[in-house]
Structure 1
Amino acid sequence: MKTLEVLIVDDERLARARLRRLLANQADIRITGEADGAESLREHIRKHVPHVVILDIEMQGEDGISLGHWLAELANPPAVIFLTAHREFALDAFSARAAGYLLKPVSAAQLIDALHTVQRPTRATQTTNQGAPLPMLSVLAGRRSRLVPADEILAFRAEDKGVTAFTRQGRFFVDDSLKELEARFEPAGFLRAHRAWLISRAAVRSIERDAVGHHWLEMDEVGEPVPVSRRQLSRLQASLRP
């Protein structure tokens, strides 16, 4: 069994002690150290880069988001799981290439699950072929906010009360508008199929035409045909040609 090396970063001593207690009985997780801020974090990283950094966002001095960006630029960056009491930091967190995002107070089960599912990033896997950061989506599952990378998202559907994201892990309600999502995810291969649908080009199986002349997309794992508007048809067909 591979041991996961973890560094805890929080400017509150009691918070660091609580995280240690939550992970105390995990044979496959080893806490390599603690840091109470930017200076001590950098000192730890100069000596040894762990697999995962558990990083509080709201700290005195340099905050966790800024430190997350610094960690992401390392040649061999650790995975970063952010902790915060506020969900609104999620967009900032994924801009720092977060591997996880947990809302306080975090439970042992939530923390252990996040650590067991995290993958250590590399500079290559954090970017698209064009070199731009791979966009990610913040979704809320219970009390845990998680980040879904673009390559696991199949489509977005606008509804009366918001937008549903169709992902390989299931469906999630998101707060962003379809227009905002289109601006963010278009560089990652997402296209507007209809005024109510934004789809991943990579997830499209085929374009079908029914008996009355309407066009529909058959897509991976979406579970329903996706309508194609006349306005978007030509652009969509051109983009899907090999």
Structure 2
Amino acid sequence: MDLLIVDDEALARQRLARMVERLEGYRLVAQAADAAEAMAAMAEHDPDVVLCDIRMPGQDGLQLAQQISTMEDPPAIIFCTAYDEYALDAFGAQAVDYLLKPVSDEKLQAALNKAQKVNRAQLAALAQADSDVSADSRKHISARTRRGVELIPLDAIHYFLADHKYVTVYHDDNETLIDDTLKELEQEFPERFVRVHRNALVAIKAIEGMERSPQGQYRLRLKGLDHQPVVSRRHVSPLREFLSRL
């Protein structure tokens, strides 16, 4: 699992970083001193878990957590703080755990185990996909183009890719901008499309396999396409297990 540490105190970040290094199966991908740096680090590294302080200059940890919760595919949050009065607010912000400084190795490990259970919920959702088909779900995605409204059959769609405020659907005939968000599409069509990255949904029937590139990235092979969407590290394990059952 990939971790991001957010704390305005350098010594506190260094102490947590040393603790993470001692744990097997975890990798520290970035550190941040405030909320702005944290959001930039998340955009670049897509961590599984954020270890976050609460009292920080500018936007505090609770406000950061609220911002994170609005993301398409948010990481789990574990608060690490010297103050115990924010516990209720922290869990209200969907935190996985609330650790008081100085954090012990045992409590950090226990909190990360909880975060892993949260990630396993992704796998459960994927496994449920085939049984969630709705007879009433739409069979097309509509897009407003210069020619008017274009109806794109779901069966013709290979994947959706988000870039800032826009979502592009890649389909048999072309690529088209649409108004739907990835989150809306993921919730509406869990039986057809699987999340492989915070910015990508891929048609399950289009997947031929997953492979690791020479640069270390995981990518999907799609039927009839040269382009291979990137799979983020946090989605590799649940996606691999899901594909093994197809």
TM-score by length of 1: 0.47
Larger RCO (alpha carbons 8 Å, 6+ apart): 2
Structure with the largest fraction of helix: 2
TM-score by length of 2: 0.47
